Amino acid sequence: MSLNFSVIASGSSGNCSILWNEKTAILIDCGCNAKYLSKQLENLNIDIKNLYSIITHAHLDHISVSCINFLKKNQIPVYITKNIFKDMLKKHEHKIKDCLYIEYNRSFAIDNIKIEAFDVYHKDANISKTCGFTFFSEVKKRSYKIGYITDTGKICNNIIKILANSNILVIESNYNKQMLEFSFRPYENKQWILSDFGHLSNEDAANAICEIQKCSTVKDSLKYVFLAHISKHHNTYAHARHTVNTILLNNNITGINLLVAKRNSKSPTIRIN
Ligand SMILES: [Zn+2]
């Protein structure tokens, strides 16, 4: 049995990743366009019958209307916390009613992939809660961990501990501080992005990666790190990569394959086999 991971889309225009093996495929967020998602699944040879989904929060870039229709039409199970389901009801009424409820810090399994949700710092007037996830699966009797945290205003020690020892980490690197300061966004929106319940800057992401690596004890921890949810308006792929690389080097952290998740194209697939 192998384990594969790819980011299909990342950013405020839509977020979606996929973790899969020979029997099961899990969509992590479903915020892109359903036509684009179908095309990517077809290219990856993933059968819709093997598909499950798990959603971090109810912002439209993480669960889009077209993907709700796609999930419903194809009867794809949706795993979600009760709070996030309530947030979704506000926008989508009863379009998704047969969700499977999950709880924070209580692990469950989809086939042989173990999953745990944890609480993160991301909310506004429309959404009350957001999750991060850790996934665990064995390949050739060795356990692998994937950490996933795309929207959070800050990273606390508890989150560092939860994400420690991830072999693959997806973490948001949302904004460049200067670009945000001079962007056209309304003052209130900027203040929310900067707040403890908004998003992480490139520096915040870099510092979190350093702390997670210092807290990790296993071989191959943070072998692959994806910088995700890079803002179109107040960041660039180059800024995110440069800032994170510089801070990692200043902390003598080497050996991480740093990947930048793009808005409208699939990342390379990480294959563990
Ligand atoms: Zn969000």
pTM as predicted = 0.96
Q: What are the pLDDT digits (tens) for 10-61?
A: 999 999 999 999 999 999 999 999 999 999 999 999 999 999 999 999 999 9
User: For position 58, which CATH number holds?
Assistant: 3.60.15.10
- In the chain, the number of structural domains is 1
What DSSP assignment string belongs to 216-229?
--STTTTSEEEEE-
CA of 23 to the centre of ligand 1 (A): 30
Residue 79: which of 106, 53, 117, 51 has the closest Cα?
53
User: For the chain, what is the radius of gyration of the CA atoms?
Assistant: 17
Could you report the per-residue pLDDT of 187-242, keeping only the tens digit for each? 999 999 999 999 999 999 999 999 999 999 998 999 999 999 999 999 999 999 99
Structural domain that includes position 242: 3-272
Cα(173)–Cα(70) distance, rounded to whole angstroms?
29
Which positions ≥6 away from 214 have C-beta within 8 Å? none
How close is the Cα of 151 to the center of ligand 1, in Å? Answer: 5
Q: Return the DSSP state at 138.
A: E
Q: Which of 115, 150, 157, 108 is nearest to 134 (CA)?
A: 115
Query: CA 222, CA 219: separation in Å to the nearest integer?
Result: 9
Residue 93's pLDDT is what? 67
- Ligand 1 centroid to residue 57 C-alpha, Å: 7
